[in-house]
Amino acid sequence: MLIVVFAASGCTGAKQWLHNGFKVGPNYRRPAAPVAEAWIDADDERVKCDEAADDWWSQLNDPTLDGLVETAYLQNLDLQTAGTRILEARAQLNITAGNLFPQSQSAVAAYVRGQLPNSFGGLPVPSEFNLFASGFNASWEADFWGRYRRTIQASKANLNASVDGYRDALVMLLADVASNYVRYRTFQQRLEYARRNVEIQEGSLELAETKFNVGTTSELDVQQARSNLAQTRSTIPPLEIGLRQTGNALCILLGMPASDLSAMLEVQPIPTAPVELAVGIPADLLRRRPDVRRAERDVAAQSEQIGIAKADLYPRLSINGFIGYTGNDLKDLFAAKSFTGVVFPALQWNILNYGRIVNNVRAQDARLKGKVLSYRQTVLRAGREVEDALVAFLQTQVQADRLEESVEAAVRSVELVSDQYKGGVTDFNRVFNTQATLVNQQDQLAVARGNIALNLIAVYKALGGGWQSFGPPHATTSAGQCYRR
């Protein structure tokens, strides 16, 4: 019988059917992924190929940041939403698993009254009749070709994909919290530099006005001093805007309404990133990055769809039955003589729909090829993101070192030229230029120091780090909140 069926279908052979565990269609195999053998900057002494840290934010040695990470993990609403998707996928898996048992089960109670001609089909039948029935009926389709088992495997893959989707949301959350915190501290440092320079330039303006009043200099010095001071003061409002907006973004990440964080985040230095960092090897991305893992699980789920579609090429064998009581009189319905049991098998084979079924198989196969390509593209993009962040981290350190030298020289230049102007050795034009240079260089230095930490965060975000430090996703039925291990 099996040989006849396989021959008639012209598809999966009996040997493959047996090899696949009595399932038609292909068994899933993880597709090859394009990963580099080593990072481009692997020879840099600051880049270590040791296993990348999981709780990477602790490398910034900032207890305030540690507390914000904990708060965001417990309260962020987007993360809780991702947790509810796991609940949904888990429930869907339980639904599909139930199809291995009788697919249709119900308790029935029915009453039928009919009237027929005295002769129905040549058989003598009563002209009127009553029929009462009460019992259970069920219908079970044998999973002969693996349709339901592959559906379960697809649901398991989707569940795993939802878990990795949660982990991906967690990676993004951790990186966003840390990045906005570093930006907040950077704005604070830039404001501190700007206000300090305002004080310096206010002193220079006062000196220029004094010298002008006694007639030792022209009004030009006064106007240059006022221009310089106004220009520096004008840099403060945009920095205040950036500080407030960054704080608002941080509030949303923490799951709280936008509010003033100045009391909670008093002025502190920009977090200092370590000079070295461990990044592992490129192949670790396949294991660490949740979006890569999720893309691979999407491929696995789609692979099962091919077998599900192919199962429609073969006949379906189902067993239907009823057990209960039937009778013509309600008072005799539950008598022993009214007990009724009916079992009848059924065979369904959609041989006239072969064209549509075959094209559905082709469509599922095409979707699988697309999922594989998407998975490989995700791997390539992950590698590029690490490389981009890594070179930025390394080169920003060099930039910051040069800017520190520049700022030290600019600070000393302002001191010298101020003394010279006070002694009448030089004109105010040199004061104007050196003070403007100091303002610009200090602001660039603050930005560069912040970028070092931001690029460190970007490296670990690209590596997919952070989710490993937390327990398995668990969402409550009320809010989907997750709890740390």
Residue type at 431 in one-letter notation: V
pLDDT in tens, the chain (485 residues): 444 445 444 455 677 777 777 788 888 899 998 899 999 998 999 998 888 888 899 999 999 999 999 999 999 999 999 999 999 899 988 888 877 777 677 787 776 776 666 655 566 666 666 777 777 777 777 878 888 889 889 999 999 999 999 999 999 999 999 999 999 999 999 999 999 999 999 999 999 999 889 888 889 989 999 999 999 999 999 999 999 999 999 999 999 999 999 889 999 999 999 999 999 999 989 999 999 999 999 999 999 999 999 988 999 888 887 787 777 777 767 777 777 778 878 888 888 888 899 999 999 999 999 999 999 999 999 999 999 999 999 999 999 999 999 999 999 999 999 889 888 888 888 888 998 999 999 999 999 999 999 999 999 999 998 888 887 665 443 333 433 33
Average pLDDT, the chain: 86
Whether 204 contacts 431, CB under 8 Å: yes
> Does the domain spanning 2-102+143-314+356-469 belong to CATH 1.20.1600.10?
yes
Predicted pLDDT at 345: 83
Packing angle, helices 354-422 and 290-310, rounded to 10: 170
129-140 burial code (b ≥16 CB/10 A, e <16): eeebbbbebbeb
What pLDDT, on the 0 to 100 scale, is given for residue 462?
94
Of 167, 188, 185, nearest to 68 by C-alpha is 185
Q: How far apart are the first and last CA of the chain?
A: 55
The secondary structure element, H or E, covering residue 320 is strand 316-327
- Do you know the residue count of the chain? 485
Give residue 157's pLDDT.
93
Contact 77, 255 (CB under 8 A): yes
